[in-house]
Structure 1
Amino acid sequence: MEAERQRMDEEHRLRMEQMLQYMQKFATATSMGTPLPQPPVIFPPPQPPAHTPNQSVASNFQAQDPDLMQPFAGAPPH
């Protein structure tokens, strides 16, 4: 019983480390403006609502720098 709990704790810890590494890559990539790596699929992505209230934020963003809206435009194929 105890061994099972330890194994689950270890799996959980590894998953958290992977997520942390991805978030660090994400933070570095966004600050440098480079394309992001694909996130590890842990949960299926949530479906976006039909109308997002943040569209005005996105359009402000686009007005300042259209390249930010196409992060994969100049990326080499993987």
Structure 2
Amino acid sequence: MKIQQLDGARLAEALLRVPLISCELNHDTVAETATDFIAGDGTNNEAAFIRDLFALDTDTVIEKWYGGDEAARELIEKIK
């Protein structure tokens, strides 16, 4: 699962900053900022995850980051 490669602290910090950046850029939505201004160049997994979270549909996010439906369901069961 690609999700396991993410640094939780870096991800949390980045997620906390996105709305602030959105406000600074005077965007109507955080999604606009995430999809238009976060690089999806593959050099920063946390940034790529945030971009994908807002830009891709659920099935694609689950496949790309969680390894598909079955792996996602197993993870859900583990964290319940």
Common topology (TM > 0.5): no
Per the normalisation by structure 2, the TM-score is 0.30
Q: Which protein has the bigger helix share?
A: 2
Per the normalisation by structure 1, the TM-score is 0.31
| Structure (1 or 2) with the larger CA radius of gyration | 1
